[in-house]
Amino acid sequence: MRRPLVAGNWKMHTSYSEAEELAAGIRDRARAVPVEVVLCPPFPWLELVRRVVAGTDLRVGAQDTYWEASGAYTGEVSPTQLRDLCDYVIVGHSERRALFGESDEVAARKFKAAIGAGLTPILAVGESSEEFEAGRTEEAIRRQLSPALDEPLEGRFVMAYEPVWAIGREVPAPPEHAGSVAALVRGELERRGHDAANTQILYGGSVGVTSFPEFLAQPDLDGALVGRVSLDPEQFSELVQMAALSEY
Ligand code: PGA
C-alpha cells in the first residue's frame, strides 16, 4: 500500500518569523496523522523548520539541489549538505525549468544525486500549455522521465505530475486528466523496471480544499504537491486531514 503524501512547496515566500509561524501552525494542526507530510521552505529556513517540527511526524524538504557533493560551485547547495537538514528535495520543478533553464538531463542528474545522498527526491514533470493543446502530453512526460529513469535507482523517490498550464491558476487540471497521466507515469516506471507499485505519484497545480478529494479518488494518484495553499496553515492542514481520511 502506498501512503498518501502531501507536500507543501513554499517557493520563495516567508520571512524568518513567518516561516516559524507557518511551520508551527501546521505542526499544531497536523502533528500526528497517518500520512506523509513534507514542508519545503526556502533553503535558509530549513534548519528553523526542522527544529519547529522536531518530535512530530512532519518532514522537511528542500526545493532544489545541485548534483555534486562538494566543490567550487558558488551559490549551490549539495544533496549531502541537505541530508544533514532534511529528508526530501523537489527537483525539476517547472519554475526551475522555465526560469532557470533546467533541462530534463539536469533535473535527472539532481534526481539521481539526491537518491545517492539518501534523500527522497520529488521529481516534478509536466507538459507546457502548447504541448497540452497540441495533444503532446504523453510525449512530453516520456521525454522528461527518460533521463531520470534510464538506470536502476537504489533508493526511494516520489513523482509529481504538474502540468505547467495548471500551476498558479484559479482551477486545477481536470482530475481525470491528472489520473491518466499518473497512470502513464506508473506505466513508464514499470516498463523501465522500477518499483512502480510502491512509488507515490502526486498531482500539483492549483490544488485546494475543494478539488483535492477528486484527485485523491484517482487510483494512480497518492497525494499532492501544493504551492499557494501550503502557505495557509489551516487550509494546508485540511488537505492533510483529507489525505488521512482517504486511508480508511
Ligand atoms: P500552486 O503551485 O499550488 O500554487 O498552483 C503548485 C506548484 O508549483 O508546485
| Res 169 pLDDT > 80 | yes
**Closest residue to atom 6 of ligand 1, CA basis:** 227
Instruction: Compute the radius of gyration of the chain from its Cα atoms.
Output: 17
Question: Position 189: which residue type?
Answer: L
What pLDDT, on the 0 to 100 scale, is given for residue 32? 82
**Closest residue to atom 3 of ligand 1, CA basis:** 227
What pLDDT, on the 0 to 100 scale, is given for residue 187? 98
Ligand 1 centre distance from Cα of residue 208 (Å): 10
Q: Are the C-beta atoms of 27 and 49 separated by less than 8 Å?
A: no
- Calculate mean pLDDT across residues 26-42: 94
Q: What tens digit of pLDDT does each residue of 123-151 get?
A: 999 999 999 999 999 999 999 999 999 99
C-alpha cell at 36: 506523509
| pTM of the shown model | 0.98
What pLDDT, on the 0 to 100 scale, is given for residue 248? 66
Cα 18 to chain center, whole Å?
22
Question: What does 8-19 look like in DSSP terms, one character per residue?
Answer: EE-TT---HHHH
Q: What tens digit of pLDDT does each residue of 185-204 get?
A: 999 999 999 999 999 999 99
Ligand 1 atom with minimal separation from the 230 CA? 3
Ligand 1 centre distance from Cα of residue 247 (Å): 24
Q: Torsion over CA of 59, 243, 186 and 166, rounded to 10 degrees?
A: -90
Ligand 1, CB within 6 Å, residue ranges? 9, 162, 167-168, 204-207, 225-228
Active site residues: 93, 162
Q: What tens digit of pLDDT does each residue of 38-82 get?
A: 999 999 999 999 999 999 999 999 999 999 999 999 999 999 999
pLDDT-wise least confident of 30-34, 97-101, 155-159, 189-193 = 30-34
- Calculate mean pLDDT across residues 20-41: 95
Q: What is the mean pLDDT of the chain?
A: 97
Q: What tens digit of pLDDT does each residue of 205-214 get?
A: 999 999 999 9
| Res 116 pLDDT > 90 | yes
